[in-house]
Amino acid sequence: MAGGTSFGHDVLVIPGLRGSGPDHWQTKWEQAHPGFTRVTGIDWDRPDLGAWSAHVDAAIRRAPRAVLIVAHSFGCLAALKRASRTPAGIAGALLVAPACPERFGFEWLSSGARLPFPSILVASSDDPCIRLDRAQHLASELGSRFVNVGEAGHINAASGYGHWPYGLHLLNKLEVTAQAMERATHFEADPAANDGDARTVDERAAALRPGQAREQALIACGG
């Protein structure tokens, strides 16, 4: 990965409708990084949210370790539908140019609840598939870091996005955040594991208020 990040997660690639062709950044990333796996079994020409999310679920369950999701367009909704049922097995999500949820009858099912894993939502100011303000509102609903890349269309091959190094940079940041969250969560679950901390277990536990692990980890992601 760019920046030398050592990945501790599998990367699950979820394209949008019609899949990602040979010139799409998702395909380029898969070719450059053998550890990236594309979700399989999906009829790319049929936007069936239930079927897509079921295949995403199966791919996550097959993975030997927690996954980082890299989703585009309708693939973002499939990933979110799965996460709304259970976030298990997801370490983080890079959501790029999500399809407009209302167009496909999708609502964030965990009303009022944010994603329990770090996420970055990337949007364009002239995306024909979703308004910028709607994308920003969705990011707020999810608790995602919001990134506006300006006039970038649907952030796909047709918009000139092939290798997309900035996207890889964001994925690197997401991986760092996910690893930091896991370390912080492990510390909360087992404070005694930190042998270098001279405070008592009670003192260390009291120092971490609920949700602080997530807040501290998001700093690395700029959230």
pLDDT tens readout for residues 123-166: 999 999 999 999 999 999 999 999 999 999 999 999 999 999 99
pTM, two decimals, is: 0.81
Domains of the chain are 6-174 (3.40.50.1820), 179-219 (no CATH)
Q: Using 50, 70 and 90 to split pLDDT, how confident is the model at 17?
A: very high
Three-class SS state of 122: strand
Longest dimension (CA), the chain: 58
Give the per-residue pLDDT at 108.
66
Question: Which one is predicted more confidently, 97 or 114?
Answer: 97
pLDDT of 106 reads 82
**Gap between the terminal Cα atoms of the chain:** 21
For residue 7, the model assigns a pLDDT of 67
* Average pLDDT, rounded, for the chain: 82
197 pLDDT exceeds 80? no
Tell whether the model's pLDDT for residue 201 goes beyond 90: no
Q: Rounded CA gap, 113 and 84, in Å? A: 9
Alpha-carbon distances of 51 from 47, 54, 75, 151, 166, rounded to whole Å = 9, 5, 12, 32, 31
Q: For residues 171 and 70, give the distance between their C-alpha atoms in angstroms, rounded to a whole number.
A: 8
- Does residue 223 register a pLDDT over 90? no
As a whole-number percent, the residues of the chain with pLDDT over 90 amount to 68
